[in-house]
């Protein structure tokens, strides 16, 4: 385009003739598996997305585009027998002209049965995947120009989102409204079901389902419907995919490493509810630890990688129960599985495991040791920062000080706001650790390990904390502080 682009100054009309001439100019190109030489207009050499955007723009501003220019572009488009259907549809609209809608009949709208099936399908998707409800707001929005409806209870529903024109006939249409503030992720539905001929069994079935859904919605039980359908879907999913994976998981193998079974690729496409149901069926939280390690080894080469949500669900199912139940050091199989999982999904593991350990009751000595080992040997730098931020969100205790010490021992560069939070937390909670040697060592570690990041204000505040400490070896720690200054 740069070759045929004219010099354009401010305030001058757009050079449509020059643009159309540049796009219609022919250039040689190679096409087909044989790389046959062909001569095509530059318009047809543009990427399909660029063609779509161009013709969408032309459709919007067609009143300002000379008809000769549009005619040239449409003629160039007709030279390609394999034109993109979307571009072809836009070209047909441009061919009709801006007033074609007034002189020609509008396209036939969807039948009432099709509209009803479409809305029912979108409703089910929104109920099973609440996060997709925003993307389907066009379906739950009120039709432009449609009369407002009042539900049976007399309360008028509020609707939001963009309107969608489905046809000129407004009779018998459903009114679908979504109230996020009242019903959360589940959309409430009010429908007016049109009568269908007795011969159309599919329409009758859809009508009956819509009536049942509307009646139960009016009774105030939309979430029960969603949970019932969700449970049925999860059960069906587990029946299809669960047994084969369970046999693979429990089989004995003399090979230390196995290629990930192809059946495991289903983890990339299942919903969170389906994944939880599958984990429950496979009994991942109680399966033998050698099987646990084998399952984690299968996850590493899985492509594409699991989403953060799926990895967090697996971390919870695989490790949470085992780690919280530790009363002695973890077995080598459990540590191998944790190390394997951490090598690729350390962030989701920290989100699930660290938070549960920090909030758990009691001393949790084995859990604390395990966290320290993960921090020192397994976690990526960004996950180390996550552990630090999680620890600083809860009140400090003696059992958490070794975890902080392990984090500082990694000497990872901390974001300024996280370092500020660390110093502030140590200063605020220092009175509770006036006699704690571990706390005094922790303060000294901050001053020495992060000497280049600690500001004079930080240094002064932490030095005051050491001055108020009555821990043993206080003078030795202050001497270390003086050497770091």
Q: Sketch the domain layout of the chain as residue ranges.
A: 16-99, 112-145+159-220, 414-485
Please report which confidence band the pLDDT of residue 229 belongs to, taking 50, 70 and 90 as the band edges.
low
Two structure tokens written together for 475 = 């003078």
- Of 309 and 170, the structure prediction assigns the larger pLDDT to 309
Q: What residues form DSSP beta bridges with 37?
A: 30
Q: Out of 33-42, 231-240, 251-260, which region has the weakest mean confidence (pLDDT)?
A: 251-260
pLDDT in tens, 285-342: 888 888 888 888 888 888 888 899 999 999 999 999 999 998 899 999 999 999 999 9
Average pLDDT rounded to a whole number, residues 172-183: 41
Q: Out of 120-129, 131-140, 232-241, 324-333, which region has the weakest mean confidence (pLDDT)?
A: 131-140
pLDDT at 248: 73
Residue with tokens 């660390």: 422
Does 175 have pLDDT greater than 50?
no
Average pLDDT rounded to a whole number, residues 142-165: 42
pLDDT in tens, 82-103: 788 888 888 888 888 765 545 5
pLDDT in tens, 338-365: 999 999 999 999 999 988 888 876 667 8
- Of 454 and 322, the structure prediction assigns the larger pLDDT to 322
CA atoms within 13 A on the CB side of 293: 15
Distance CA 340, CA 378 (A): 9
Q: Out of 167-176, 264-273, 386-395, which region has the weakest mean confidence (pLDDT)?
A: 167-176
- Do 164 and 142 contact (CB within 8 A), yes or no? no
Q: Out of 56-65, 78-87, 395-404, which region has the weakest mean confidence (pLDDT)?
A: 78-87
Q: What are phi and psi of 327, to 5 degrees?
A: -120, 0
Average pLDDT in the chain: 73
Q: How far is CA 143 from CA 106, 134, 147, 262, 324, in A?
A: 17, 17, 8, 46, 53
Q: Out of 136-145, 366-375, 376-385, which region has the weakest mean confidence (pLDDT)?
A: 136-145
Element (H, E) at 157: none
Distance CA 383, CA 390 (A): 10
């Amino acid at each position: 385009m740069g070759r045929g682009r004219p010099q354009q100054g401010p305030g001058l009309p757009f050079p449509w003739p020059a643009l159309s001439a540049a796009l219609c100019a022919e250039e040689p190109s190679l096409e087909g598996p044989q790389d046959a030489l062909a001569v095509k207009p530059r318009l047809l050499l543009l990427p399909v997305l660029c063609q779509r955007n161009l013709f969408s723009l032309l459709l919007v501003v067609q009143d300002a585009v000379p008809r000769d220019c549009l005619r040239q572009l449409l003629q160039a488009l007709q030279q390609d027998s394999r034109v993109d259907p979307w571009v072809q549809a836009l070209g047909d609209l441009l061919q009709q002209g801006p007033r074609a809608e007034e002189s020609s009949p509008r396209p036939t709208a969807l039948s009432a049965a099709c509209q009803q099936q479409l809305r029912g399908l979108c409703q089910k998707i929104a109920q099973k995947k609440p996060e997709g409800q925003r993307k389907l707001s066009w379906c739950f929005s009120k039709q432009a120009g449609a009369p407002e409806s009042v539900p049976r209870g007399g309360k008028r529903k509020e609707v939001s989102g963009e309107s969608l024109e489905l046809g000129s006939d407004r009779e018998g249409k459903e009114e679908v409204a979504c109230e996020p503030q009242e019903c959360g992720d589940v959309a409430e539905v009010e429908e007016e079901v049109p009568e269908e001929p007795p011969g159309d069994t599919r329409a009758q079935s859809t009508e009956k389902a819509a009536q049942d859904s509307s009646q139960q919605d009016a009774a105030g039980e939309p979430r029960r419907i969603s949970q019932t359908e969700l449970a049925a879907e999860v059960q069906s999913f587990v029946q299809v995919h669960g047994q084969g994976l369970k046999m693979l998981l429990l089989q004995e193998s003399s090979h230390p490493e196995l290629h990930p079974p192809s059946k495991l690729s289903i983890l990339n496409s299942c919903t969170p509810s389906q994944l939880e149901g599958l984990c429950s069926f496979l009994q991942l939280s109680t399966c033998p630890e050698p099987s646990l390690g084998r399952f984690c080894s299968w996850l590493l080469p899985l492509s594409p990688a699991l989403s953060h949500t799926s990895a967090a669900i697996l971390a919870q199912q695989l490790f949470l129960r085992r780690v919280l139940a530790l009363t002695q050091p973890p077995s080598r199989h459990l540590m191998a599985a944790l190390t394997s999982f951490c090598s690729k999904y350390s962030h989701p593991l920290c989100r699930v495991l660290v938070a549960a350990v920090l909030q758990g009751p009691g001393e949790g000595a084995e859990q604390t040791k395990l966290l320290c080992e993960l921090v020192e040997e397994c976690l990526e730098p960004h996950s180390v920062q996550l552990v630090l931020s999680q620890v600083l969100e809860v009140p400090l205790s003696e059992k958490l000080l070794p975890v902080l010490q392990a984090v500082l021992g990694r000497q990872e560069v901390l974001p300024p706001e996280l370092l500020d939070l660390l110093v502030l937390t140590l200063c605020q909670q220092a009175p509770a650790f006036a006699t704690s040697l571990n706390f005094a060592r922790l303060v000294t570690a901050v001053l020495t390990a992060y000497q280049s990041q600690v500001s004079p204000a930080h240094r002064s505040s932490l030095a005051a904390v050491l001055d108020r400490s009555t821990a043993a070896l206080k003078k030795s720690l202050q001497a270390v502080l003086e050497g770091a200054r």
